[in-house]
């Protein structure tokens, strides 16, 4: 039996649906009742991921956990101490779940972390799983601290921990900025990004789910950290053109030099957004390929076409 925490989220839902189609025995843990899962999937209410959470019933008879639950980036976070809030959920909550998993006899714990643990931007070379962590935000710091706690727990208890650090995840129904960009491109709104020639790694939802499911049982995955991507890095301008093509549109990109964009963004307090759009963030997945004999399941173009079809279908409903 496999427990998926955060099963009502973008990634958790995909893990449950794909795992069920592959014939796995799954228990979906979420905070909401009434969710319709595929036939054969057990459902359990989990409450929030927190230090005081009781997971004993959810973990009964479970062999492996896929921990997709987390407090993610919060736009305009009103918390007086964002780092404390991230730590409360992503560190204390995750380690509480893992400790109870050990007590329940769980064999393997798959933890979805973030490429932000490595850092915010790459320059001379891509990130690797062995790089010294340089978490750049409260969210990334909390993910790094959770990783440290899980590794210590693995050493002390024998729990097999697998850490996966994805970059931006996209796919049908992707939340956040990716969906906003689809809407902008669909409406034909011009964007000042035609002269951005950075290099960024992304990962399609299908590819990330595929790696998670392989990591559940592959003997070489135990106590390893993996980076994941689609295996093709794109500039922001190239990505926008491919997204527009998938929508049947032409991207209207104005060639504003990247230094000008960064300077203007800093003036308006949007430096982080400019870094994400203009900076490079590449990941090296050679370790993931070699240890797990893994290859991305779908290409960037295939994933963008799936995403665009879902977006357009939603516009018609």
Q: Which CATH number covers residue 46?
A: 3.40.50.720
Residue 263 is encoded by which pair of tokens? 């300077």
- Range(s) of the domain holding residue 125: 2-165
Nearest to 136 by CA among 284, 234, 288, 271: 271
- For 43, phi and psi rounded to 5 degrees? -120, 140
Residue 139 lies in a domain: yes
Residue 229 lies in a domain: no
Give the total number of structural domains in the chain: 1
Residue 294 lies in a domain: no
Residue 114 lies in a domain: yes
Residue 204 lies in a domain: no
* Per-residue confidence in pLDDT tens, the chain, 317 aa: 999 999 989 999 999 999 999 999 999 998 776 567 888 899 888 777 777 888 899 999 999 999 998 888 654 556 678 899 999 999 999 999 999 999 999 999 999 999 999 999 999 899 999 999 999 899 999 999 999 999 999 999 999 999 999 999 999 988 888 889 999 999 999 999 999 999 999 999 999 999 999 999 999 999 999 999 999 999 999 999 999 999 999 999 999 988 898 888 887 777 777 788 889 999 999 999 999 999 999 999 999 999 999 999 877 75
| Three-class secondary structure of residue 16 per DSSP | helix
Q: Which of 10, 55, 127, 139 is catalytic?
A: 139
d(CA 143, CA 265): 27
Cα-to-chain-centroid distance, residue 316: 28
Nearest to 111 by CA among 60, 154, 175: 154
Tell me, yes or no, if 218 is annotated catalytic: no
Residue 203 lies in a domain: no
Burial class (CB in 10 A: 0-12, 13-18, 19+), 114: buried
Residue 256 lies in a domain: no
Residue 70 lies in a domain: yes
Q: Distances from the Cα of 120 to the Cαs of 276, 277, 278, in angstroms?
A: 8, 12, 12
């Amino acid at each position: 039996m496999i427990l998926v925490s955060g099963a009502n989220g973008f990634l958790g839902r995909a893990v449950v649906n794909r795992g069920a189609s592959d014939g796995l025995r799954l228990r979906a843990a979420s905070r909401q009742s009434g969710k319709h899962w595929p036939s054969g999937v057990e459902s359990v209410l989990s409450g929030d991921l927190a230090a005081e959470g009781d997971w004993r019933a959810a973990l009964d008879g479970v062999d492996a956990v896929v921990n997709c639950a987390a407090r993610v980036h919060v736009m305009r976070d009103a918390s007086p101490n964002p780092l404390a809030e991230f730590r409360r959920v992503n560190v204390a909550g995750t380690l509480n779940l893992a400790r109870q998993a050990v007590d329940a006899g769980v064999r393997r714990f798959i933890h979805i972390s973030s490429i932000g643990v490595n850092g915010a931007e790459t320059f001379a070379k891509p990130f690797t799983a062995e790089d010294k962590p340089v978490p750049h935000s409260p969210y990334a710091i909390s993910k790094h601290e959770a990783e440290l706690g899980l590794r210590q727990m693995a050493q002390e208890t024998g729990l097999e921990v697998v850490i996966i650090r994805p970059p931006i995840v996209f796919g049908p129904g992707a939340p956040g900025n990716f969906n906003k960009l689809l809407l902008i491109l669909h409406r034909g709104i011009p964007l000042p990004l035609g002269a951005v020639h950075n290099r960024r790694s992304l990962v399609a939802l299908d590819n990330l789910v595929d790696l998670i499911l392989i990591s559940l049982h592959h003997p070489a995955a135990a106590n390893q950290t993996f980076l994941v991507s689609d295996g093709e890095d794109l500039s922001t301008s190239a990505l926008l053109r491919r997204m527009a093509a998938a929508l049947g549109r032409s991207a209207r990109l104005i060639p504003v030099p990247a230094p000008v964009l960064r300077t203007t963004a800093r003036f308006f307090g949007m430096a982080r957004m400019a870094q994400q759009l203009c900076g490079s963030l590449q990941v090296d997945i050679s370790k993931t390929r070699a240890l797990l004999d893994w290859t991305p399941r779908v290409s960037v173009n295939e994933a963008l076409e799936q995403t665009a079809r879902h977006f357009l279908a939603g516009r018609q409903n």
